[in-house]
Every structure is written in C-alpha cells, then in structure tokens.
A and B are shown apart, each in its own frame.
Chain A
Amino acid sequence: DIQMTQSPSSLSASVGDRVAITCRASQNISSYLNWYQQKPGKAPKLLIYAASLLQSGVPSRFSGSGSGTAFTLTISSLQPEDFASYYCQQSYTTPSYTFGQGTNLEIK
C-alpha cells in the first residue's frame, strides 16, 4: 500500500502569512495527488486535484505543486477562513485511495 505522510502535523500562522504544507508518498504517484480542506463539523472540500489544478470556486491564493513523491500545498496570504485542517490524498492506485494524516492550521 502507498503511504502518505504530511508535514507538519500542526502549524500556527497569522493572517497574511504564506504557508506551505508538504505531502510525501511512499512511492512514485506521478501527479495523482489531491488536496482537501476540512473545517470542524463539516465534510472535506476539494481544493486542488492532479497536484496543481485548482477546483472551480477555490480562491487563487491556494496552489499546489510537485510530482513523483513530493508535493506542496501553498496558501499565499492566509485569510481568517483558511484556518482549518488540510489533507492530501493519492489516487494513483484507483480504485483504492489513501489519505495523509492531516495538517491542522491554527491561528497564532
């Protein structure tokens, strides 16, 4: 099975900061990597698919990069509504999937 490891597990930042969350796959997954945002008590929301493609309606301050085994989700200028948990997910082994353990982004 492909393992997905996110870092950091938690992160404190301020409004206006630029932040980056990293996701590493245990083997090459090409660009089959997706990112989600989840707020407390809500279902996850798709942000980025195929490593770098922005889902419709998602603000352009979110971006994704990487391929192979190393990927990054970047938020260029944090807004108050961005404080949430973030998850990566590999779809290289469709129809089986794996999520990262999550990154909790908190207000400093």
Chain B
Amino acid sequence: DAKTTQPTSMDCAEGRAANLPCNHSTISGNEYVYWYRQIHSQGPQYIIHGLKNNETNEMASLIITEDRKSSTLILPHATLRDTAVYYCIVRVLYNFNKFYFGSGTKLNVKP
C-alpha cells in the first residue's frame, strides 16, 4: 500500500473549519483514500473514504485532487470533541489486507 505524509500537528479554533492535508503521491489507480481518527484512549474510528470523487458524510468532507496525489479532510465546524489524531491511509478495497496507519496529524481544537 502507498505511503502517506501528514503534518505532525495542527490547531483550529472552535467553530471554524478544520482542513487536514494528506500527501499520497505514489497512490495507484485502485487504491482508496481512507481517514480515521483516534480520540485519546480510544480505538481509531472510521470517518470517510473515497477513490477519486469528493465525498461528504455527516462527519466530514473529503476532497481528492484530480491527479489523486493529495487529499484534504474537512471538518466544517470543529468542536472541542474533534481534538484527536487523524490518520490518512491509502488501501486497495477488497484487498483483505491491513491498513498502514502512520503517525497521523494531531488536531488541537481550541476554544
């Protein structure tokens, strides 16, 4: 599976949009982009995934560049409860295989 690069940490003001970038320049055509987050002392939680089209659900939006070499996870109105480590992962769907988590981005939402 392709490697991803994320900033180590980011700050965001409560109520503002949080934009978390991810670089996956070696992504292959059949690899999806997944985002998970891990709130302190909990297991990781699925947020969203996509292949090439932008995706939106009740938690977030995922914007994937046209060349698919990078993506951005958007939390439209960040709250203090969104403070967590966010992991960007690329993986072949139906590969019955592991997810490589990397070190993720620590998002600090501040009042």
The answer to whether A binds B is no
Measured CB to CB, the residues of A under 8 A from B are: none
Measured CB to CB, the residues of B under 8 A from A are: none
